Every structure is written in C-alpha cells, then in structure tokens.
Amino acid sequence: MHHSPTSLAIFSATVYGAAEFVAEELTRALSASAYSVAFNPRPTLQNVTNTQADIALFCVSTTGQGQLPRIMARIADELEATAANLETLNYRVIALGDKSYGEVDFCGGGRRLDALLDTLGATRLAAPLLIDTEATNNPEEIAVPEILNWLQALREAAETPAQ
C-alpha cells in the first residue's frame, strides 16, 4: 500500500449470524476510529470486483465440511470460473470456525477464500484471522482489537518514510 489506508469495505457471509455480527461490530468500531467503512452483508461478485476501498475485509464463517456460506461460495465459484483479475484488491480474511470440526476443515471456508483471492492476484495484507467460536462466545472481542491494532500498524508503516 502506497498511502495510509483510510477506506474499508467489509463483506460478510454467514449462516447463523455470527460472522455478520462480527462484521457489524467491526464497522462500528472502525467508523468510531475515523475510518470510512462500507459494510455489505449481501455482497455480489460485482461488489467485490468493483470495490474502490483501500482495504477489503472478508468476514466469513464455515459451514458443511470446510465450506463457505452459500452467498460467498457462489462468489468464489464465479471468481474461479472467470479467472477474475483482482490485482487492485488489498484484503484480509476474518474466518469464524469451530475446531471441533477438525484440523482440515477448521475455518476451511475462510481459508479457501483467502487462497483464491491470492491466486487471482489480490494482495493479502495479512494472514487470515482464524477465530475458534468453540472457545469463545464473543468472537467480536477478538476481532475488533486485532483489526484495529493491525490497521494502526499499517498506517504507521505507511507514514514512516522509507529508509
């Protein structure tokens, strides 16, 4: 990133609401910290490919056996089928899952999306944030401070002149 990030797009995909709730709480906290945030809980392929935000956050849960919620599974399938060029997209995935589903499937949906965006040329700004909702009833209490601190560090890095 060549300038300090100020605008974010948050795309969520949920089955039972937890990932959407985390995305809402992130939207609230980031807006309160003077970021410009566009929250979209019902994203389409075009919303993702056309985003102009400095950073896109994808907040998704996992369903089935390591699968994305339907709305994001469809977007991922379309991105893959069309081999979309995502070179202008800077992103991080926030993945909710449950370790009791096993190592292989844990946060499998979010990890699939993360790998796919990277493959299509998008810039992965950080490893996905994997949240085990078996271990916490309040995943937003993990996601909000982590993302705020991480964005603050990105801004400080962007504002420090290169040596």
Q: Dihedral sign for Cα 42, 44, 50, 55, please.
A: positive
**Residues 33, 147: contact at Cβ < 8 Å?**
no
Question: What angle separates helix 108-119 from helix 70-82, to the nearest 10 degrees?
Answer: 20
What are the structure tokens assigned to 110, written together? Answer: 């979010």
136 touches ligand FMN by CB under 6 A: no
Q: In this complex, which beta carbon is closest to ligand FMN, that of residue 106 or of residue 154?
A: 106
x/- map, 17-46, ligand FMN, by CB under 6 A: xxx---------------------------
DSSP assignments along 10-73, one per residue: EEEE-SSSHHHHHHHHHHHHHHHTT-EEEEESS--HHHHHT--SSEEEEEE--BTTTBPPHHHH
Rounded to a whole number of angstroms, the minimum distance from the CB of residue 40 to ligand FMN is 15
51 lines the binding site for ligand FMN (CB under 6 A): no
Nearest to 144 by CA among 17, 37, 24: 24
Q: Which is nearer to ligand FMN, 15 or 26 (CB)?
A: 15
Q: How far is the CB of 72 from ligand FMN (least distance, A)?
A: 11
Q: What is the distance between the alpha carbons of residues 18 and 28, in angstroms, rounded to a whole number?
A: 15
Residue among 25, 54, 105, 140 that touches ligand FMN (CB under 6 A): 105
Task: Assess 101 for contact with ligand FMN (CB under 6 A).
Answer: yes
Residue of minimal Cβ distance to ligand FMN: 97
- Of 40, 64, 78, 125, the residue at the interface with ligand FMN (CB under 6 A) is 64
Of 16-24, 34-42, 44-52, 80-88: span binding ligand FMN (CB under 6 A): 16-24
Which residues contribute to the site for ligand FMN (CB under 6 A)? Answer: 14-19, 61-66, 96-98, 101, 105-108, 133
